[in-house]
Amino acid sequence: MIFKIAKTELRNLFYSPVAWFLTIAFLVQCAVFYTYGLAPIAKWQDIMITNNPKFKDFGASLTTAIFLNSNGIFANVLQNLFLFVPLLTMGLISRETNNGTIKLLYSSPVRTREIVLGKYLAVMVYNLLLLLIVGIFMVSGLVNIRSADYGMLLAAALGFYLLVCAYTAIGLYMSSLTTYQVVSALGSFLLIFVLSRIGGLWQKYDFVRDLTYFLSLSGRTEKMLKGLIVTKDVIYFVVIVYMFLGFTLIRLKGARESRPWFVKAGKYLAVVVSALLIGYVSSRPVLTGYWDTTAGKVNTLHENTQKIVKELGDDPLEVTLYCNLLGRGLQQGLPEARNTYLSTLWESYTRFKPEIKFNYVYYYDTNDSSLFKSFPGKSLKQIAEQMAEGYDADMSRFIGPEAIHKMIDPESENYRLVMQLKYKGRTTFLRTYDDGIFWPQEMHIAAAFKRLLQAKLPKAVFMTGDLERNIYKKGEREFSLHSIEKLSRGSLINLGFDSDTLSVATRDIPSDIDALVLADPKTELSAATLDRVHRYIEKGGNMLILGEPGKQKMLNPLLRQLGVQLMDGTLIELSKDEMPHMVRPYITPAATGLAQEEMLRTLKEESDDTVKMLLPGATSLSYTDTGAFTITTLLTTIANKDWLKAGTLVTDSAAPVFSPQEGDLKKDSFPTVLGLTRQINGRQQRIVIGGDADFMSNLRQGGDFLSRAFYSWMDYGTFPIYTPRPKPKDAKLRISPAGANALKIAYIWVLPGLVLLLGTVLLIRRKRK
């Protein structure tokens, strides 16, 4: 009986112009977004191939670009889907009421649930037709894109179908409430709008937050559009369908029965409670299943991170979010942002360790004197109360300075939003940053997890006592940014390392450190310092040594035992943009193996390409490769482009001229950074020597990826925790610009025209009969 009703309803749908109109409009919409995304890429690919013989691909997923980006098919179809569905469902039951056929249905031996399920089945079949239309362009994408990510497309198609089925269940219920089809359509629009926005309502209240977040339609297909199928999202759509079909059934039965209002309300309540119960149980992390359908598993933690999470085992891990009413990151830490915080930052980790416990501490404290100037005459608590009122926050949630100082030292974390991880009595911090990403990334979280697991933590010790670069100063020539700066994503402290300073002239070098850093000493090293560093090297200690032009004599006595010397003079490279002492040596192929940095991996894969590094004032290195160390050039100048200027260089005057009479030296190329290795005490000793220290200074962003690579190499790849992803294979098209334009005509004009012709013929024949 259900199938008979569904068959009849489908016949009614396709014997009316509404279904055909919606089909054609939907087809044209998909065609426009597909072809207008495909054609420009095909044109640019043709231009690149014509003009650049080395062009291989775009380096980015074209499946994502054409189908899933903000201008792609799925994003726009889902955005406009609520405009189609109410027009489709507005007459499902209200038409029966207006035509009087509902009485015939009630008087026939047909159960009410068979009517509801039959009509809904018919709409599900029509939804399959919409999915088939999307499928046309998916198949076209598989043909037009080389190695298209079909797994991602199938997951997105599932999300589309589940969403349209949820919309039609809502539309079916609204159709049962009124005899006016326009009112039914408007009611569907309104209900879909409310369910899409309800997730942002009353989020500051703990009890209501989870309820409204669960009921919200917004973002439910987001993971599926990225190729990640999550059981709780699939179950959510099933629950929504169940809930509104249940409402429809109660409504139709209630119209035929004379029952007290509270009985009818009790039935609705029973459906809602059962739906919420199913949703709550299915959303528990331990009961949630995940399927990453993408080719590169881009929605899943990297295997390096998974291994670390697995090592945590079943022991409890606590994550406490400390949110300061008077600090940075307040709005991301307030209760109304909690679900976003958990889903965007932590769901990837609860997938593999569901028993993570999340705590929240809200406080107020500051050392910002400008706040007291903005609120003259008010105490810290009074200022906090004013701020709470401004943010519409509950002041009773926030504890004062005395209470928070018993838990953590907020000043050491800059009074900003921060997370503390606790595991087996060990603690470490996860920080947030003032950039577009804000939250820590996978490499930061993985490093924090690994710090909780390791008894011995990696440590870089920076030598002091001879006016070396200082990690505690923020001047442009100092070294704080890449070492201990907590607000920098790339600093050692946020990548798993501890950093400290040591006056080697007065204290022995610890044997358990991972790297000793000697950066640009400005006075001659004492005999005690030389002796201690010499003994450290002889024992196999790793070291980073950086010098500067004009101060070669400070380091050359130490470097002599390594077979390396800083050459006298300053490297010169003339260019129309930079001062002459700004040289740009390139990264050698040997340097690409230092670490799993993305830039170095790209250079390794693209063997015919390289990257230049700006060194603001450098000297060259000479060496004899006959000692105990194997010496490798990591950075070197371009052949026959630079020379070594003897004597004092004046940078803000006329361009220097090469003068052999003054001792200037030209040769094929000048190495500026060397890597030294040897086997000693059962491991490989690693030393990096550079002829410039400024490229790792605060002004140069701490050396960025290259400095991280140096420290990773000296730590044998233990830290940082790299999470390299394979390059997408679907980065090139198989279609020419002419072919893309032909598809545009076929999909936008020819195919819809054929569907229009088919619909017209069918409707005319139906009218004649």
Question: What tens digit of pLDDT does each residue of 584-629 get?
Answer: 999 999 999 999 998 888 888 776 667 889 899 999 999 987 778 9
> Among 115-124, 204-213, 631-640, which stretch is predicted with the lowest mean pLDDT?
204-213
Residue linked to tokens 């606590």? 318
pLDDT classification of 107: cutoffs 50, 70, 90: low
Q: Read off the DSSP letter of residue 413.
A: G
How far apart are alpha carbons 451 and 719 in whole angstroms?
10
CA distance 353 to 334: 24
Whether 656 and 667 have beta carbons less than 8 Å apart is answered as no
Measure the CA–CA gap between 498 and 429, rounded to whole angstroms. 12
> Tokens 């406009």 sit at which residue?
80
Burial 205-214 (b: 16+ CB within 10 A, else e): eeeebbebbb
Sheet holding 683-690, edge to edge: 498-503, 459-464, 515-519, 543-546, 683-690, 671-680, 630-636, 586-587
pLDDT at 608: 65
pLDDT of 702 higher than 60: no
Q: Is the pLDDT of residue 707 over 90?
A: yes
pLDDT at 650: 78
What pLDDT does 498 receive? 95
| Rounded distance between C-alpha atoms, residue 364 and residue 323, angstroms | 8
Q: How far apart are CA 212 and CA 199, in angstroms?
A: 5
CA triple 705-682-452, angle to 5 deg = 55
Residue 94 in this model has a pLDDT that exceeds 80? no
Asked if omega into 510 is within 30° of 0 (cis), the reply is no
For residues 574 and 358, what is the distance between their CA atoms, to the nearest angstrom?
Answer: 57
In the prediction, which pLDDT does 384 show?
A: 94
Sequential DSSP letters for 118-141: HHHHHHHHHHHHHHHHHHHHHHHH
Look at 465-469, 487-491, 648-652 and tell me which has the smallest mean pLDDT.
648-652
Averaged pLDDT for residues 102-129:
82
For residues 302 and 720, the answer to whether their CB atoms sit within 8 Å is no
DSSP structure class, residue 671: E
164: three-class secondary structure by DSSP: helix
Map residue 595 onto helix, strand or coil: coil
Which CA distances in Å does 464 have to 87, 472, 502, 529? 75, 11, 6, 10
Q: How far apart are CA 759 and CA 19, in angstroms?
A: 9
Mean pLDDT calculated for residue range 625-654: 87
In this prediction, residues 714-738 reach a mean pLDDT of 93
Higher per-residue confidence, 263 vs 373: 373
Report the pLDDT value the prediction gives residue 756, as an integer from 0 to 100: 92
Tell me what pLDDT residue 207 has.
67
CA dist 556 → 408, 525, 618, 677 (Å)? 45, 10, 15, 19
* Mean pLDDT confidence for 503-517: 94
Question: CA distances (Å), 594 to each of 343, 598, 644, 688, 707, in order?
Answer: 35, 11, 28, 11, 10
Mean per-residue pLDDT, 352-364 = 95
- pLDDT tops 80 at residue 755: yes
* pLDDT band per the 50, 70, 90 thresholds, residue 546: very high
- Summarised one tens digit per residue, pLDDT across range 332-351 is 999 988 988 999 999 999 99
For 656, which DSSP code? P
* Contacts (Cβ under 8 Å, ≥6 apart) of 473: 480
Asked if 18 and 88 count as a contact pair (C-beta separation under 8 A), the reply is yes
Q: Are strands 290-292 and 317-324 parallel, antiparallel or unpaired?
A: unpaired
pLDDT value at residue 204? 72
Query: Cβ distance 715 to 495 under 8 Å?
Result: no
Sign of CA dihedral 400, 404, 405, 406: positive
Which pLDDT value is given to residue 633? 95
**Within its chain, how far is the Cα of 24 from the centroid?**
37
Averaged pLDDT, 509-521: 95
Token look-up 């010397």 returns 565
Q: Taking CA 328 as the corner, what is the angle to CA 322 and CA 331, rounded to the nearest 5 degrees?
A: 75
As a whole number, mean pLDDT of residues 510-531 equals 95
Would you state the structure tokens that stand for residue 535, as one six-digit string?
A: 């003994």
**Placement of tokens 């909780």 in the chain:** 452
The structure tokens listed for 222 are: 């987001």
Distance between CA atoms of residues 107 and 103, nearest Å: 6
CB contact at 8 A, 167 and 123: no
**What proportions of the chain, in percent to the nearest 5, are helix, strand and coil?**
50, 15, 35
DSSP 242-288: HHHHHHHHHHHHHHH----HHHHHHHHHHHHHHHHHHHHHHTSGGG-
Quote the pTM value.
0.90
Does position 103 have pLDDT exceeding 70, yes or no? no
Q: Are strands 459-464 and 426-431 parallel, antiparallel or unpaired?
A: unpaired
* Cβ-contact 32, 141 below 8 angstroms: no
Residue 112's CB: how many other CB atoms inside 10 A? 17
Question: Is residue 157 predicted with pLDDT exceeding 70?
Answer: yes
Q: pLDDT tier at 193 (50, 70, 90 boundaries)?
A: confident
* Least confidently predicted of 26-35, 102-111, 517-526, 751-760: 102-111
**Mean per-residue pLDDT over the chain, rounded:** 90
69 pLDDT tier (thresholds 50, 70, 90)? confident
CA angle, residues 738, 743, 745, in degrees to nearest 5: 100
> What confidence category does residue 218 fall into, taking pLDDT thresholds of 50, 70 and 90?
confident
Q: What is the pLDDT of residue 99?
A: 63
Q: What percent of the chain has pLDDT over 90?
A: 64
Stretch among 58-62, 203-207, 294-298, 464-468 having the lowest mean pLDDT: 203-207
Rounded to whole angstroms, how far apart are CA atoms 440 and 2?
53
Closest CA to 59 of 76, 41, 73, 72: 41
**pLDDT, tens digit, for every residue of 12-25?**
888 888 888 889 99
Q: Is the peptide bond before 401 cis (omega within 30 degrees of 0)?
A: no
Amino acid of residue 420: Q
- Region of poorest pLDDT, from 66-70, 209-213, 694-698: 209-213
The reported pLDDT for the residue numbered 191 is 86
Q: How far apart are CA 236 and CA 172, in angstroms?
A: 18
Closest CA to 116 of 131, 86, 96: 96
